[in-house]
């Protein structure tokens, strides 16, 4: 088992860019897509089917991670995250060369609303959008500029060496052993007032929300050992951010194809 784990750990480590976190895990992204699939308007549903064919938002939600092995998409590597140091806003923070998650979402929404894209480009943009709306709701995707979105914060998760970013991306969620549909059924209980409030927030609001959770996210014991207590203290936030991402993704797509 140890001989199998070592290559996996090494591969995970080198998959991060010099300054970037990467993604919610597959369960998180698919849960977000599944929630959004169920909240689309009739008109938006027709357009999504036209654009994606037989694939659902849940099924395309991990596409942007899968294409990281394709060098023709390297331009999008920095789109998964943004950096807003403590005490700054997005507007006052240093600009990310190549664009960041906020810039990319705003750009993609504008292009999809304008229309006139080729079928290939429309599908590509929609797939990007599904993934990036998920990414921006993972608190560590709005980095402080000091530790690569928690990737440099080494911790132990139930005795296994990892980093804080990985704990938030997937380890807390995967530890529940839910499928993405089961996880969606568990969290998908937003009230009408919550849906209205969440969908009225801007993309930049979403990022500032993620930033606002830093004290909670970084409340790691000095020995770095995380297990049941850390999950207990933080899993409601995981559920909240996944649900908000799904609700907002549906709102954005409904607005694009209204």
Helix (H, G, I), strand (E, B) or coil at 83: strand
Would the pTM of this model clear 0.75, i.e. be above it?
yes
Nearest-angstrom CA–CA distance, 127 and 3: 36
Residue 13: its pLDDT value, please? 36
Residues 224-234, mean pLDDT to the nearest whole number = 97
Distance CA 210, CA 141 (A): 8
Rounded to an integer, what distance in angstroms lies between the CA atom of residue 206 and that of residue 136?
7
Answer yes or no: are the C-beta atoms of 120 and 47 closer than 8 Å. Answer: no
Tokens of 135: 């990414």
Q: Rounded distance, CA 52 to CA 74, Å?
A: 23
DSSP string, 103-168: HHHHHHHHHHHH----HHHHHHHHHHHHHHHHHHHSGGGEE-SSSTTTTT-EEEETTEEEEHHHII
Asked if residues 183 and 176 have their Cβ atoms less than 8 Å apart, the reply is: yes
Residue ranges making up the domain that contains 146:
2-256
Does residue 92 carry a pLDDT above 70? yes
| pLDDT greater than 90 at residue 19 | no
- For the chain, how many structural domains are there in total? 1
Predicted pLDDT at 39:
98
Asked if residue 44 lies in contact with residue 254, where contact means CB atoms within 8 angstroms, the answer is: yes
Average confidence (pLDDT) over 18-34: 75
CATH code for the domain of 246: 1.10.575.10
- How open is the CA angle 93-19-174, to the nearest 5 degrees? 110
Of 191 and 22, which is predicted with more confidence? 191
Question: What was the pLDDT predicted at 3?
Answer: 41
Quick check: 25 pLDDT over 80? Answer: yes
Element (H, E) at 34: helix 26-37
Q: What percent of the chain has pLDDT over 90?
A: 90
Rounded to whole angstroms, the Cα distance separating 173 from 214 reads 19
Tens digits of per-residue pLDDT, 182-228?
999 999 999 999 999 999 999 999 999 999 999 999 999 999 999 99
Average pLDDT over residues 93-114: 98
Please state the rounded mean pLDDT for residues 137-142. Answer: 98
**pLDDT tens-digit readout, 140-186:** 999 999 999 999 999 999 999 999 999 999 999 999 999 999 999 99
Element (H, E) at 254: helix 228-256
In angstroms, rounded to a whole number, what is the distance separating the alpha carbons of residues 217 and 194?
A: 23
DSSP assignments along 158-220, one per residue: TTEEEEHHHIIIIIHHHTTT--HHHHHHHH----HHHHHHHHHS-HHHHHHHHHHTHHHHT--
- Per-residue model confidence (pLDDT) at position 23: 52
């Amino acid at each position: 088992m140890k001989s199998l784990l070592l290559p996996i750990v090494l591969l995970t480590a080198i998959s991060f860019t010099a300054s970037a976190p990467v993604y919610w895990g597959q369960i998180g992204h698919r849960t977000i897509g599944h929630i959004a699939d169920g909240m689309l308007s009739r008109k938006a549903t027709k357009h999504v089917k036209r654009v994606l064919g037989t694939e659902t938002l849940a099924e395309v939600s991990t596409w942007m991670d899968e294409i990281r092995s394709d060098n023709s998409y390297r331009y999008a590597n920095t789109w998964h995250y943004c950096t807003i140091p403590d005490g700054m806003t997005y507007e006052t923070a240093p600009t990310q060369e190549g664009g960041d998650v906020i810039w990319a979402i705003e750009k993609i929404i504008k292009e999809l609303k304008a229309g006139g894209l080729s079928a290939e480009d429309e599908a590509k943009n929609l797939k990007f959008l599904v993934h990036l709306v998920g990414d921006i709701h993972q608190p560590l995707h709005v980095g402080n500029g000091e530790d690569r979105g928690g990737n440099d914060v080494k911790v132990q998760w139930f005795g296994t060496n990892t980093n804080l970013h990985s704990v938030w991306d997937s380890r807390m969620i995967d530890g529940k052993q839910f499928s993405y549909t089961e996880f969606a059924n568990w969290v998908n209980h937003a009230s009408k007032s919550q849906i209205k409030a969440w969908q009225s927030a801007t993309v930049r609001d979403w990022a500032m929300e993620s930033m606002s959770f830093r004290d909670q996210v970084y409340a790691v014991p000095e020995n770095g050992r995380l297990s049941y207590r850390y999950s207990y203290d933080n899993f409601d936030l995981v559920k909240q951010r996944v649900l908000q991402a799904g609700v907002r993704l549906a709102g954005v797509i409904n607005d694009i194809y209204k």
